[in-house]
């Protein structure tokens, strides 16, 4: 008898009792008497009459229960050759002081604070300090361009900005303060003050009266207690890394996030309080919010804060060193990180250099996990490799496998089955439900479960139109895929990446599976380019493994044959080119829509989150070798 099935079914059959029962596992000042207020859909409110505090649940609770001497954070920074362990008690002391520092500068509950920092402990401390007094934090990825930071300043109108003087990339220092000064100059809204942490690698020039030194201000600050906050008080605003248009400020509420995230640590990730858990991401992304900071601390875990890369800091064994050295039980990262490791170490030689016996599970999310990457990780790590699917908007898994309940059989290419509270469907363009195995739009019936976003900051109309208008009564994920006869969900592509070749709707994800299955292909991308005759034709870009001996031309010929054999002639796949690297966001998402615009010769906005803009020049040149953009 499945242990997962009755839990999932009860989450849909009786939402009120199911979520109230889970809510008993967190600290409340005033416990809720009802789970859901559905009076104004799609603006649903969970635990509407409860009061709580996220920082209390993350820190004070564990110290009060005697876990104060356990490590809360392990900071590991190969770029600065620094390692530091911070206990729950020490973290509580720091957070209380920084919360007092904010209050001394006039920040109070409901005020917004932008945090513009790299992967350092002070970033986590700042987030928790905001949560402690009820300020709403908005973390902006360190080193973000000045104009994009200015857009976020004008949208959330922060009372204060907390920044570091610089961030560190392999071989270079990125000075943040000039970017921050330029952003404030560009923005119409001006923050009252800026707190700047001076890192030794680059000193920031301070503006008198506006800028204050972190260390000086911290030393003089009193401690602040936790504020008792309504369950639906906004915990944070996180701007999505969309490639076009205005960024969307996703709002996460307080109580829903605590309840859902704490549940996932034991039930999805299979860890117990005291275990070391590592989400290899960045605090600037939703993974960092949910699984570097909040969820592990809610659950009493030790969380790893890693300032480095999967390769190059110093080699493809970087992840294995961290796992071995800190006895990591569960690793969560993006498939793109594993593809980077696999490219540099295709035979897994670096894996053999470290003792990974403490690692029990690997979780992948952020990009679709192709079966080849899944197989490589399974082969070399010898642990369950679990693909799970979620979004900035949902804050945690939409679909997952459940290491703490039961591990369902893994189907390569599928993030398995829906998480509690998600009633998923596949709909066609007319809103009709698709048959098992038929590709359509993946949607979730309203209401979404606790912990998912409650609105967009200052844009409730956009919240409704962008997510709930196309399919009334349903959340539109923006992803396309299918559900098979066993109820397994397959996320094949963003809806925009399902291409139409001579009337046939085809998944670029399925083509990428065929390409990545070639032993010499490290990673790949397929997008649909405009074609006068067929409407669209697929175009493939390949990045090859480091030790490849075959010629580019031979590999291109072979992958074309693979697509023809695995997808069929209907795919009309014949345009493919080898590139040194693929354009990605800093969180590892491949910029397929931007590449499609290049191939089509249409205008596009430089993505704010692009890792290296120079890559687009390389892609433009590669596509030109295939004759793109074509003259219509």
**Domain positions in the chain:** 506-625
Which tokens sit at 367? 């990009």
What 8-state DSSP symbol labels residue 294? I
Q: Which of 544, 530, 617, 622 is nearest to 576 (CA)?
A: 622
Angular region, 502: left φ>0, alpha ψ -120 to 50, beta rest: left
CATH code assigned to 506-625: 3.30.300.30
Please, are residues 330 and 269 in contact by the beta-carbon 8 Å criterion?
Answer: yes
473: alpha, beta or left? (left if phi > 0; alpha if psi -120 to 50): left
Confidence of residue 570 (pLDDT cuts 50, 70, 90): confident
pLDDT in tens, 4-23: 999 999 999 999 999 999 99
pLDDT of residue 507: 74
State the alpha helices, DSSP H only, in 352-444. Answer: 371-381
DSSP state of 139: E
Encode 30-60: b = buried (16+ Cβ within 10 Å), e = exposed.
Answer: eebeebbbeeeebbbbbbbebbbbbbbbbbb
In the block, tokens 């994800």 appear at 509
- The stretch 117-146 carries a mean pLDDT of 95
Instruction: Name the band, by pLDDT with cuts 50, 70 and 90, for residue 245.
Output: low
Question: Burial, 487: exposed, middle or buried (Cβ in 10 Å; 0-12, 13-18, 19+)?
Answer: middle
Residue 587, pLDDT > 80, answer no
Among candidates 280, 275, 324, which has minimal Cα distance to 296?
275
Question: Would the pLDDT of 243 be above 50?
Answer: no
Residue 517 CB burial class (10 angstroms; 0-12, 13-18, ≥19) = middle
Q: What is the DSSP letter of 573?
A: -
- How many Å apart are CA 41 and CA 45, to the nearest integer? 9
Cis-peptide into 447, omega within 30 deg? yes
Cα–Cα nearest to 490, from 436, 560, 452: 436
> In this structure, are strands 361-364 and 330-333 parallel, antiparallel, or unpaired?
parallel
Predicted confidence band of residue 520 (pLDDT cuts 50, 70, 90): very high
**Cα end-to-end distance, the chain, whole Å:** 59
Contact between 538 and 511 under an 8 Å Cβ cutoff? The reply is yes
Span 76-95, pLDDT tens digits: 999 999 999 999 999 999 99
Query: Which pLDDT band, with edges at 50, 70 and 90, does 128 fall under?
Result: very high
Annotate 253-278 with b (16+ C-beta within 10 A) or e (fewer).
Answer: bbbbbbbbbbbbbbbbbbbeeebbbb
From 291, 302, 270, select the one nearest 90 (Cα to Cα). 302
pLDDT tens-digit readout, 589-623: 788 888 999 999 998 888 777 778 889 999 999 99
Query: What is residue 510's predicted lDDT score, i.e. its pLDDT?
Result: 78
164 contacts: CB under 8 Å, gap ≥ 6: 116, 117, 118, 120, 122, 123, 142, 176, 196, 197, 199
Please compute the mean of the pLDDT values over residues 55-80 and round it to a whole number.
Answer: 98
What is the SS3 assignment for 62-115? HHHCCCCCCEEEEEEECCCCEEEEEEHHHHHHHHHHHHHHHHHCCCCCCCEEEE
pLDDT digits (tens, 9 = 90+) for 290-334: 999 999 999 999 999 999 999 999 999 999 999 999 999 999 998
| Position 237 confidence tier, pLDDT thresholds 50, 70, 90 | very high
Summarised one tens digit per residue, pLDDT across range 460-510 is 999 999 999 999 999 999 999 999 999 999 998 777 677 778 666 677 887
Question: Mean pLDDT, the chain, as a whole number?
Answer: 93
The residue-averaged pLDDT of 92-104 equals 98
State how far Cα 441 lies from the chain centre: 21
- Is residue 244's pLDDT more than 60? no
183-231 per-position pLDDT tens digit: 999 999 999 999 999 999 999 999 999 999 999 999 999 999 999 999 9
Sheet of 417-418: strand order equals 389-390, 397-400, 417-418
pTM score: 0.86
Each residue of 533-558: pLDDT tens digit? Answer: 778 899 999 999 988 999 999 999 99
- Which pLDDT score, from 0 to 100, does residue 253 have? 98
Beta strands in 180-334 (DSSP E): 193-197, 211-213, 229-230, 234-239, 249-253, 276-279, 302-306, 330-333
């Amino acid at each position: 008898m499945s242990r997962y099935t009755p839990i999932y079914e009860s989450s849909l059959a009786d939402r009120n009792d199911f979520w109230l029962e889970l809510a008993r596992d967190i600290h409340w000042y005033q416990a809720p008497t009802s789970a859901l207020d559905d009076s104004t859909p799609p603006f649903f409110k969970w635990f509407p009459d409860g009061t709580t505090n996220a920082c209390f649940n993350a820190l004070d609770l564990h110290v009060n229960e005697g876990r104060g001497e356990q490590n809360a954070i392990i900071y590991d920074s190969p770029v600065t050759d620094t390692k530091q362990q911070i206990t729950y008690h020490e973290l509580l002391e720091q957070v209380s002081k920084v919360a007092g520092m904010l209050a001394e500068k006039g920040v109070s509950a409901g005020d917004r604070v932008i945090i513009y920092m790299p992967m350092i402990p002070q970033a986590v401390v700042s987030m928790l300090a905001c949560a402690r007094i009820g300020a709403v934090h908005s973390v902006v990825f360190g080193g973000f361009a000045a104009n994009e930071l200015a857009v976020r300043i004008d949208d959330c109108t922060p009372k204060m900005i907390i920044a570091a003087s610089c961030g560190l990339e392999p071989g270079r220092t990125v000075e943040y303060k000039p970017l921050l000064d330029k952003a404030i100059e560009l923005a119409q809204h001006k923050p009252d003050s800026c707190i700047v942490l001076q890192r030794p690698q680059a000193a920031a020039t301070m503006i008198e009266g506006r800028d204050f030194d972190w260390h000086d201000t911290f030393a003089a600050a009193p401690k602040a207690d936790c504020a008792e906050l309504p369950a639906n008080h906004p915990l944070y605003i996180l701007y999505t890394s969309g490639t076009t248009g205005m960024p969307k400020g996703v709002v996460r509420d307080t109580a829903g996030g605590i309840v859902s995230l704490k549940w996932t640590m034991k039930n999805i990730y299979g860890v117990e309080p005291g275990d070391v858990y590592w989400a290899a991401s960045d605090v600037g992304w939703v993974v960092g919010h949910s699984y570097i900071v909040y969820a592990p601390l809610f659950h009493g875990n030790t969380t790893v804060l890693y300032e480095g890369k999967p390769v190059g800091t110093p080699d493809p064994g970087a992840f294995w060193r961290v796992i071995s050295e800190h006895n990591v039980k569960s690793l969560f990262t993006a498939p793109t990180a594993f593809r980077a490791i696999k490219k540099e170490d295709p035979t897994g030689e670096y894996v053999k250099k470290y003792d990974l016996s403490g690692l029990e599970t690997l979780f992948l999310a952020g990009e679709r996990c192709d079966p080849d990457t899944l197989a490589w990780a399974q082969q070399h790590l010898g642990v369950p490799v679990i693909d799970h699917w979620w979004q900035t908007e949902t804050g945690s898994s939409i679909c997952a496998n459940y290491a703490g309940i039961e591990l369902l059989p893994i189907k390569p290419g599928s993030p398995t089955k829906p998480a509690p509270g998600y009633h998923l469907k596949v709909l066609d363009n007319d809103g009709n439900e698709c048959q098992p195995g038929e590709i359509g739009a993946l949607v979730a019936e309203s209401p979404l479960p606790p912990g998912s976003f409650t609105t967009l900051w200052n844009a409730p109309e956009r919240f409704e139109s962008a997510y709930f208008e196309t399919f009334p009564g349903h959340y539109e994920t923006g992803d396309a895929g299918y559900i098979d006869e066993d109820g397994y969900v397959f996320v094949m592509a963003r809806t925009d990446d399902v291409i139409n070749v001579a009337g046939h709707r085809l998944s670029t994800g399925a083509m990428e599976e065929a390409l990545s299955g070639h032993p010499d292909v490290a990673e790949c991308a397929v997008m649909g380019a405009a074609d006068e005759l067929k409407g669209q034709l697929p175009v493939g870009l390949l990045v090859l493994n480091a030790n490849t001996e075959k010629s580019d031309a031979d590999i291109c010929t072979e992958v074309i044959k693979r697509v023809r054999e695995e997808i069929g002639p209907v795919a009309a796949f014949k345009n493919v080119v080898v590139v040194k690297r693929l354009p990605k966001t800093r969180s590892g998402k491949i910029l397929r829509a931007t590449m499609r615009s290049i191939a089509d010769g249409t205008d596009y906005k430089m993505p704010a989150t692009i890792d290296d803009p120079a890559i687009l020049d390389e892609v433009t040149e590669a596509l030109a070798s295939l004759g793109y953009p074509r003259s219509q």
